Amino acid sequence: MPDVETLFHMFGNRNRLAILTALAEENSPHSFSDLRELLRLNPNTLAFHLESLEYTGLVSHELVDNEKRRYSMYYATTHARELLRKYEITYGMVQLRD
């Protein structure tokens, strides 16, 4: 589990918070392309922030291998969703509640 300083750092960045909120909001995984389109982020920016969130255990991914291509599906971890709800952390107009 990340320490408090790391959590403040993760939640204090609007791009990371937008990614995390998007993943937690629907409680379903999103592909990199879906997130890029939804959040209108540069691919390098999105990759950097997903890596940071994954490193802290707030985001995870699974590799999908179908006949045509391989890609990752990203999702907010249970811990991340609990933290967002517990502290009523929001991004924009979205507020996660039980």
Q: Per-residue confidence at 92, pLDDT binned at 50, 70, 90?
A: low
Averaged pLDDT for residues 14-25: 89
Phi/psi at 92 (nearest 5 deg)?
Answer: 65, -130
Q: Which single residue is written with the structure tokens 């997903």?
A: 50
Query: What range does the domain containing 37 cover?
Result: 4-95
Residue type, 5: E
Q: Which single residue is written with the structure tokens 């995984």?
A: 29
Q: Per-residue confidence at 28, pLDDT binned at 50, 70, 90?
A: confident
* pTM of the shown model: 0.81
Residue type, 29: P
Q: Give tens-digit pLDDT for 40-87.
A: 999 999 999 999 999 989 999 999 998 888 999 999 999 888 888 877
Whichever domain contains 15, its CATH number is 1.10.10.10
Counting the structural domains of the chain, the total is: 1
Q: Burial level of 61, CB count in 10 A (0-12/13-18/19+)?
A: middle
Q: What is the pLDDT of residue 94?
A: 43
- Average per-residue pLDDT in the chain? 84
